[in-house]
Amino acid sequence: MEDEDYPFFRDSSIQRFEFTVEILWKSLKSFLHKTEGINCKSPKNCIREFFSSGYLSPEETTKLLEMIDSRNKTSHTYHEEVAEEIFKELKSYIPLIQKVFNIIKNTVNPNF
């Protein structure tokens, strides 16, 4: 990748991250309502309820809450330093996002 293309790829990755976080927390909201009867209202509340229901460790919960904070930084301000910080963290979120979606998938449809 050429240096001149870097901002485009960084910003595109951050945009995908924003979409992914939105899908994640709304999936958690729906999942918790259908499986646990829990009505959560915000991303952090849904993550805390997911933890309280026994699906995540405290460390995983902390990491997801940090992810929400990163997502919130992207939507309220845009600074190069913040973009760089978040871009460097993106890879660390992927395994946990995959784990959450696998928990949902395997709980809702274990034969899938």
pLDDT tens-place string over residues 20-41: 999 999 999 999 999 999 999 9
Q: Domain span at residue 53?
A: 3-108
Are 29 and 40 spatial neighbours (Cβ–Cβ below 8 Å)?
yes
In sequence order, the 6+-apart residues with CB closer than 8 A to the CB of 46 are: 25, 28, 29, 32, 40
CA 21 – CA 17 distance, rounded (Å): 6
Overall number of domains in the chain: 1
User: Which amino acid does the sequence have at 89?
Assistant: E
Residue 85 CA to residue 79 CA, distance in Å, equals: 10
CA–CA separation, 109 and 112 (whole Å): 6
Domain CATH for 76: 1.20.120.330
What's the pLDDT tens digit per position in 69-100? 999 988 766 788 888 999 999 999 999 999 99
Q: pTM above the 0.85 mark?
A: yes
